[in-house]
Structure 1
Amino acid sequence: MQIEAVGLGKRFHREWIFRGLTHIFRPGSATAILGPNGSGKSTLLNTLSGQLLSTEGSLSYAYQGRAIAVEEIPQLLAYCAPYLEVIEELTLTELLHFHTRFKPLRTGFTAKRLIELMYLEKSRHKLIRDFSSGMKQRLKLALALYSDAPLLLLDEPTTNLDRTGVDWYHEHVQATTADRLVLVSSNVPEEYDFCSERLDVTDFGAKMAR
């Protein structure tokens, strides 16, 4: 997956969140979207993935040598963010079977194997609503990391994780990102230390519209 942004800008009301971003996000690369809280990292991430419309500039997408319409991006996207919810009325096993109907897992992986990777074998029949916040975050991460999608977005990926959970994230993010376009929104270095590129939102800083 490749994303090319040309003169990209996003404005809410009279305030520019970012403006003038021109960059090519190339296949097989990992880019950290940096900036302090409230600087627009998540907004940029959602704009690049087509979930928010830009105010100005253009975005183009390509995958396996062909141009991709923005309407096709959800099929090619795996996303993990603290504000994304999972269906809490389902058990873990039910949720995984439901999820994989729409977003298959990477080749060679099954729902059973994913439960083992998350160390949640004893919770396979437990309702998601009864999971701790750390368990829910590990689940959301696993669904994103192990879904068969060439575009991976991670927004503050270690939120709600303890030290063991952070170590789990490091192990599995490094095992699943080599052949994908990865964008990580964060201001915590250990969340994006595997990224080879850095993009600071404040370099395209907020300005009042005229």
Structure 2
Amino acid sequence: MFTGIIEATGKIANMTPLDGEGLRVMVVSDHLDMGDVKIGDSIAVNGACMTVVAKTAHSFKFDVSAESLRCTVGLDDPGREVNLEKAMCLGDRIGGHLVSGHVDGLGRVVRFEQLGESWQLMVQCPKELGRFIAIKGSVVINGVSLTTNEVTDRGANTVFSVNLIPHTVAVTALKHLKSGDKVNLEIDLIARYLERMLPEFKAKAG
């Protein structure tokens, strides 16, 4: 589990093909404390939970399947800056919200612009994913826990917006986003469970 509060950023350094399909990816970061990271631990990379298979004081490697590469963005682009968060421990403060590190789908940046002292990020996603996004609810964009300000359904798509404070822009890789970029999205865990449970409640009520 994660909280969506980014601890550091890193860069995709290199990739090597695995037997069959998939890649072994190396991430380099001068700012992520690797002292308490063990082989087998989880680190969220741009919001996707990855298992550490090798490490140094300033880098780690993870294996990613072809299926995960198809469903995510930002894991196979050498030189790309990515958001990093180590798995939380019991007793940690939850500064964002409970995040699983399982990407639910991709969104596309519609607008990213500064408004006063903050930035507005507007994202479009398929309506089947957008139905889980609510005003003042939580959403994860490339691993960052954010609060939605507006949600609008537009045909087969949903468009939602979040505001980023200067600190978030400064310490995450979201600052590099531009219109048309794809982003990893994770919906709120509560919304996911409600979707599973509501049909049963409706059947009993009927």
TM-score, length-normalised on structure 1?
A: 0.29
Q: Greater share of helix residues, 1 or 2?
A: 1
TM-score, length-normalised on structure 2?
A: 0.29
Q: Greater share of strand residues, 1 or 2?
A: 2
Relative contact order (alpha carbons < 8 A, sep ≥ 6): 1 or 2 greater? 1
